[in-house]
């Protein structure tokens, strides 16, 4: 176990542990630890408890809400915890520091007929971090979020006690209470009246919920994930990726709606609006896959096929949808081999990569500037109205921004790029207004990124005081001193 003590020692020798994809500046800590096993992790957590030292958990640091960034105290990184067990049936045991890419590589050699469905697009994401944030991604339309694929979790509680929570062993029964031999009695209290379909804002309080689901998505506030048993799915024979580019920007939502109502079993349904395609063309990344001429917006779909006849049928139905929507043949992309998969990943990822590059350029002249991103979702049938409302907010403020995301789940990301300090405050106001709009439409302020340090203040828009008080009581019952993830203050 490696430990660095002293603010200066950490910032000088391991500055990376004070950064993540949020771009938030100013993180610091008194010491940092890199355990290589669950036993070492528990030993260090006990040490922090004995000193009343606040502790922040750090995984792959791919999060965008600064949940892994400390505000003093200690940081524990799981990046050295890399063990992957043998595939047994359709499950595999992993330590928290294993990345999604490392798991994929192991499965490709040891269990080529199986795969782990959650895909948050960040292959460097750690599996412990994915469990802690209940990560999802585009394929969650069909496969759900990470919690659906976790069979058990090894945890270290804030006092340093190790515990294993197995799905199905303990659940919140009548009255919303749960009795666990190591945790004692936990009570849900007031829960949301209408849970959202896709939601990563606060604890997942549900009537009759499994105890494991309290910890999954808790963002490191209730315990440290050290290991997981993951469920695997059977790999489909063929994955079809297609993009339907509409020549008219007003055709985006009628087209997305037609695809959603087509009867096709969609693994993913995503959109990019006109501003997205214009942004991609303006200053493309080297080797980037760019939208074709004449395209004003894009609807992207991913589907699975069990054989050639089904593949032909799916492609035919997509062609019929394009024809009925007035889309010429040159604005339809579709394919299903490995090279095509790489091409489509490049197309999808180019937009956020270009946004991040633009922010990096701006930061050279305006230190501290960052991207402002929303993560709200509404009922899927309202996605088009939500998009119109988001665009009105951004455009009305005179800001530059792109809107894209998971149309099949009503989940849209708005990225606003302030062009200087004067626009940073206006950008933050936009994020607040977009969150309010989502809540007014029956949605959530965070569908997949969590709240972290940057968005904790949004939870009060979404839930009445009684629900937030329930979350606070649960947190304090497991961490009476409030040491874990102290900088995350939403409960």
Q: How much of the chain exceeds pLDDT 90, in percent? A: 89
pLDDT of amino acid 108:
96
Last residue of a domain, one of 234, 263, 291: 234
The reply to whether 126 falls in a domain is yes
Say how far apart CA 486 and CA 472 lie, in whole Å. Answer: 13
**200 and 249 assigned to the same domain:** no
pLDDT reading at 491 higher than 80 = no
**111 and 219 assigned to the same domain:** yes
| 394: exposed, middle or buried (Cβ count in 10 Å: 0-12, 13-18, 19+) | buried
- Extended beta strands in 325-431, E state: 332-335, 372-373, 401-406, 411-416
The reply to whether 270 falls in a domain is yes
Say how far apart CA 345 and CA 342 lie, in whole Å. Answer: 5
Instruction: Indicate which CATH number applies to the domain containing 285.
Output: 3.30.70.2190
The answer to whether the CB of 204 falls within 8 A of the CB of 217 is: yes
- What are the pLDDT digits (tens) for 54-94? 999 999 999 999 999 999 999 999 999 999 999 999 999 99
Q: Which domain holds residue 229?
A: 91-234
The answer to whether the CB of 413 falls within 8 A of the CB of 373 is: yes
Give residue 368's pLDDT band: very low, low, confident or very high (50, 70, 90).
Answer: confident
Number of domains in the chain: 2
**112 and 180 assigned to the same domain:** yes
Indicate the average pLDDT of the chain. 95
Strand, coil or helix: what is 303?
strand
User: Among 177-186, 191-200, 216-225, 378-387, whose mean pLDDT is lowest?
Assistant: 191-200
**217 and 258 assigned to the same domain:** no
**What does the block give as tokens for 72?**
């003093």
Task: From 398, 300, 390, select the one nearest 350 (Cα to Cα).
Answer: 300
**304 and 228 assigned to the same domain:** no
The reply to whether 469 falls in a domain is no
Last residue of a domain, one of 234, 263, 284: 234
pTM of the predicted model as reported, rounded to 2 decimal places = 0.94
Task: From 134, 18, 51, select the one nearest 375 (Cα to Cα).
Answer: 134
The reply to whether 454 falls in a domain is no
Task: From 231, 225, 242, 235, select the one nearest 125 (Cα to Cα).
Answer: 225
Task: From 374, 487, 491, 479, select the one nearest 159 (Cα to Cα).
Answer: 479
**192 and 312 assigned to the same domain:** no
Instruction: Indicate which CATH number applies to the domain containing 100.
Output: 3.30.465.10
The answer to whether the CB of 404 falls within 8 A of the CB of 273 is: yes
- What are the pLDDT digits (tens) for 449-468? 999 999 999 999 999 999 99
- Extended beta strands in 316-429, E state: 332-335, 372-373, 401-406, 411-416
């Amino acid at each position: 176990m490696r430990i660095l003590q002293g603010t200066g020692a950490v910032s000088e020798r391991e500055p990376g542990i004070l950064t993540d994809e949020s771009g938030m500046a100013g993180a610091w800590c008194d010491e940092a630890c890199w355990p290589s096993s669950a036993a070492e992790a528990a030993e260090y957590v006990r040490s922090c408890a004995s000193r009343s030292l606040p502790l922040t958990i750090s995984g792959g640091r791919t999060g965008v809400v600064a949940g892994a960034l400390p505000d003093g105290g200690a940081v524990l990184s799981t990046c050295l915890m890399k063990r992957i067990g043998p595939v047994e049936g359709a499950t595999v045991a992993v330590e928290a520091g294993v990345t999604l890419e490392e798991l994929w590589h192991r499965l490709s050699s040891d269990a080529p007929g199986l795969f782990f469905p959650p895909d948050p697009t960040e292959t460097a994401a750690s599996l412990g971090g994915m469990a802690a944030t209940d990560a999802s991604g585009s394929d969650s339309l069909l496969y759900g979020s990470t919690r659906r694929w976790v069979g058990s979790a090894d945890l270290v509680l804030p006092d340093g006690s190790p515990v294993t929570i197995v799905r199905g062993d303990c659940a919140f029964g009548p009255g919303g209470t749960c009795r666990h031999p190591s945790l004692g009695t936990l009570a849900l209290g007031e829960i949301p009246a209408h849970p959202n379909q896709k939601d990563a804002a606060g604890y997942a309080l549900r009537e009759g919920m499994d105890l494991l689901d309290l910890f999954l998505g808790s963002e490191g506030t209730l315990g440290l994930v050290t290991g997981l048993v993951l469920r695997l799915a059977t790999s489909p024979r063929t994955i079809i990726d297609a993009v339907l580019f509409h020549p008219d920007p007003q055709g985006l939502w009628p087209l997305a709606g037609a695809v959603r109502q087509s009867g096709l079993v969609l693994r993913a349904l995503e959109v990019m609006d006109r501003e997205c395609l214009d942004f991609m063309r303006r200053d493309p990344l080297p080797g980037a896959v760019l939208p074709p001429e004449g395209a004003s917006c894009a609807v992207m779909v991913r589907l699975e096929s069990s054989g050639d006849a089904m593949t032909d049928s799916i492609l035919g139905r997509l062609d019929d949808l394009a024809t009925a929507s007035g889309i010429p043949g040159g604005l339809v992309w579709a394919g299903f081999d490995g090279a095509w998969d790489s091409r489509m990943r490049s197309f999808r990822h180019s937009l956020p990569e270009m946004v991040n590059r633009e922010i990096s350029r701006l930061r050279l002249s305006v230190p501290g500037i960052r991207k402002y991103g929303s993560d709200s979702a509404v009922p899927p049938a309202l996605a088009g109205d939500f998009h119109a409302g988001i665009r009105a907010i951004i455009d009305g403020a005179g800001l530059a921004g792109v809107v894209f995301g998971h149309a099949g789940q009503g989940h849209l990301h708005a990225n606003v790029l302030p062009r200087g300090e004067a626009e940073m405050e206006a950008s933050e106001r936009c994020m607040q207004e977009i969150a309010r709009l989502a809540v007014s439409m029956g949605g959530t302020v965070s569908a997949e990124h969590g709240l972290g340090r940057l968005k904790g203040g949004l939870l009060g828009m979404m839930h009445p005081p009684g629900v937030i008080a329930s979350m606070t009581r649960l947190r304090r019952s497991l961490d009476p001193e409030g040491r874990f993830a102290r900088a995350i203050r939403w409960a």
